[in-house]
Amino acid sequence: KTSFLPREEEAQPSKCPDNSAFKQQRLPAWKPQLTIASVLSSFFLTGAFCLTVGVCLVLSANSVREIQVDYSDKCSDCSKLRENSSNWNKECHCSVNFTLKEDILGDVFMYYGLQNFYQNHRRYVISRSDAQLLGRNVNIQRSYCSPFSTYRNGTPMAPCGAIANSMFNDTIDLFYNRNSSMIQVPLLKTGNSWWTDKNVKFRNPESYNLSSAFAGTARPPYWQKPVYLLDEEDERNNGYVNDDFIIWMRVSAFATFRNLYRRVQRVRHFAEGLPAGNYTFQISYNFPVTRFKGRKHVILSTVVWSGGSNPFLGIAYLVSGTAATLTGFVITGIHLKLRKKKTYFQKQ
């Protein structure tokens, strides 16, 4: 046949894909043959697995020893004092007594709990400067820290942002009342944060000392002391790498949450844990909660292989296992009914 196309168009390569198994979609594929035996075995095995794991998780969560003390009302005088912002530099202390009826053996962890404090608001979550928390010299006015970025005179805040500004700052000490004497329970304030946070995500600015590293900056408005004085006793737990600060900066997804505060050091009278008896929390009250109708708690708890006292994961496994098992029985009933009907018509 005579071609009426120009020679240049005749020389163009074809746009068709190569004649290969991959490009022509001729690769072998596995198509499972679903039989009643394979379907039922999958449902029943999944149900048995989920039920077994769920029972183990629930029993593990129930074995956690925990005591929770609400000190919102017991420190009402301090709470009223803190509601007036002009009293920010006034100290207020209160005591809360409680009793342990049984020994709490093993490692004991102290948490502080907040209720009705919403950390999941979008503007709150992004109100931070990760570059600043890495010790870099950055212009925080270009970050999301506003309005907690600089003061009116232009002095930058360190650290900046709403998360850092609202940091929990109550001081909680635990005392054991033994033979009419009060023994302070030794508490560990380091080693409570994640290793990646302590060594990767948070770093102090480089300088010959910490106070000069933060020269030219000022503390957030709600703080009582600058960031380089968070822990004057331990240089490795000061500034941006302070454990309490790092833990607070990991925001919670729910309005009621708890954060790890201290760990009981297992020495002397507390080598096996916390013995039964009378105890006292000595609290330096600084964090106000009345305006947003919040509550504050102190929790003493142990942990197990599955974590703390939270049965949610175990309940989720139990619900999933029950649903899979019931689905298997329903499919079995439908199959038997259809097979009986098929046999009846075949006889007819």
The confidence score (pLDDT) of residue 83 equals: 82
Choice among 207-216, 261-270, 272-281 with the minimum mean pLDDT: 207-216
- Structural domains of the chain, count: 1
Q: Looking at the predicted structure, is the pLDDT value of residue 135 above 80?
A: yes
Answering whether pTM is above 0.85, one says no
Please, what is the average pLDDT of the chain? 89
The confidence score (pLDDT) of residue 340 equals: 76
Cα 106 to Cα 82, 190, 192, 272, 301: the distances in Å are 37, 18, 17, 6, 10
Q: Is residue 143 part of a domain?
A: yes
Give the percent of the chain with pLDDT over 90: 62
- Gap between the Cα atoms of 23 and 232, Å rounded: 67
Q: Is residue 312 part of a domain?
A: no
The confidence score (pLDDT) of residue 68 equals: 94
- Gap between the Cα atoms of 166 and 171, Å rounded: 15
pLDDT tens digits along 78-115: 888 888 877 777 889 999 999 999 999 999 999 999 99
339: nearest Cα among 38, 331, 39: 331
Q: Band of the pLDDT at 132, cuts 50, 70, 90?
A: very high
Q: Find the mean pLDDT for residues 130-142.
A: 88
Q: Is residue 339 part of a domain?
A: no
The confidence score (pLDDT) of residue 7 equals: 56
260: nearest Cα among 197, 200, 313: 197
Q: Is residue 258 part of a domain?
A: yes
* Domain enclosing residue 245, as ranges: 66-307
The confidence score (pLDDT) of residue 2 equals: 52
Secondary structure (DSSP) of 257-298: EEEEEEEE---GGGSSEEPSEEEEEEEE-----TTTT-EEEE
- Gap between the Cα atoms of 215 and 208, Å rounded: 12
pLDDT tens digits along 279-304: 999 999 999 898 888 999 999 999 98
The confidence score (pLDDT) of residue 345 equals: 64
The confidence score (pLDDT) of residue 253 equals: 92
The confidence score (pLDDT) of residue 82 equals: 84
Q: Band of the pLDDT at 5, cuts 50, 70, 90?
A: low
pLDDT tens digits along 334-347: 988 888 777 756 66
pLDDT tens digits along 244-264: 999 999 999 999 999 999 999
Give kind and range of the element (H or E) at residue 340.
helix 312-347
Q: Report the Cα 32 to chain-centroid distance in Å.
A: 41
Q: Is residue 41 part of a domain?
A: no
The confidence score (pLDDT) of residue 8 equals: 53
pLDDT tens digits along 202-212: 999 988 889 89
Q: Find the mean pLDDT for residues 185-189.
A: 95
Q: Is residue 313 part of a domain?
A: no
Q: Band of the pLDDT at 16, cuts 50, 70, 90?
A: confident
Q: Is residue 54 part of a domain?
A: no
